[in-house]
Amino acid sequence: MGALTKAAKAAINQQPTTTFKANTSSVSFFQEKFEMAKQLSMSTLIPQQFRGKPADVLMAMELSEQMKMSLFVVTQNLDIIHGKTSWKSSFIISAINSSGKFKSNLRFEWRGTEGQNTWACRAWIIEHDNNKLFGTWVSIQMAINEGWFEKKGSKWKTMPQQMLQYRAASFFGRLFASDILMGMQSTEEIVDVEPISVETVEASNTLKLENQLEVIIHQASNLGFDVSGPTEGKKRVFWLKATIKIDGADINGLVSLGFKPMKDFYIMNVTHLLIN
């Protein structure tokens, strides 16, 4: 989460101070921004849920401008579930921590007994005047009462500590940092209350990982390499193999993608993109 915090902070610091202008402020401005969205929606680097959907990209562009964050950061951390946009909980924590709105980073307080229904967590933070802001207590009993715990594929049974922290952070964000989060819920909240299974979201995430593999192969090809694989090696490790196909192939660019030089070719471990 440290890298995500740095990315969010860098995006905020690098954003020029300008007056926000809504995409619908004029017909000509809307058309100009929509043309930009159309081009971006064709990029192989944009997440799958935005691919070929310029209208969705346009909305993400407006959101990124309002938040003074890069479009890349915003699209990478937005989930669209049943037509509702939501933030990944890890991003909510990072956005609050990097916003500069508070003196301290988000912290977590615990009470009750671990492993019992009384186990509870709340998020809190220190303001610049040294006052403390406390979020809502979230307990295992609350998850049971609300029906989150028994939902098919629920992470509440297998990852209770993380789910308590995620939910506590989301509740805190909507109470005290709604301007940062634009009032949106976390992905975990929507999954818990909507008639959608965790498996559906995980399948979407798997699709995103597979798309990353396609992007790597496409980029390597553009750099002047033929790519084969993924091929399974020992201990279920999967590799891509790249060989030079044209004179002047960009070896440095290939290495920057993560490929390592061998005697007559280059390899890249892509196990993390294929096995969750």
pTM over cut 0.85: no
The pLDDT value recorded for residue 255 is: 83
- Distance of alpha carbon 163 from its chain centroid, rounded? 16
Check residue 197 and give its pLDDT.
47
Distance of CA 182 to the CA centre of its chain: 16
What's the pLDDT score for residue 19?
A: 57
> Would you state the structure tokens that stand for residue 2, as one six-digit string?
């440290």
- pLDDT number for residue 181: 81
Tell me the pLDDT of the chain (276 aa) as tens digits.
455 445 445 544 544 444 556 655 567 888 888 889 888 888 878 887 788 788 888 888 988 888 788 888 888 888 776 667 788 888 889 889 988 899 999 999 999 999 899 999 999 999 999 999 999 999 999 999 988 888 777 789 889 999 999 999 999 998 898 888 877 878 777 777 664 444 444 444 444 444 567 777 877 888 889 998 788 887 778 888 999 988 888 888 788 778 899 988 999 888 766 654
Omega of the bond prior to 16 within 30 degrees of 0, cis? no
Beta-sheet strand order (sheet of 225-232) = 225-232, 238-244, 266-269, 260-261
94: which 2 tokens? 């990072």
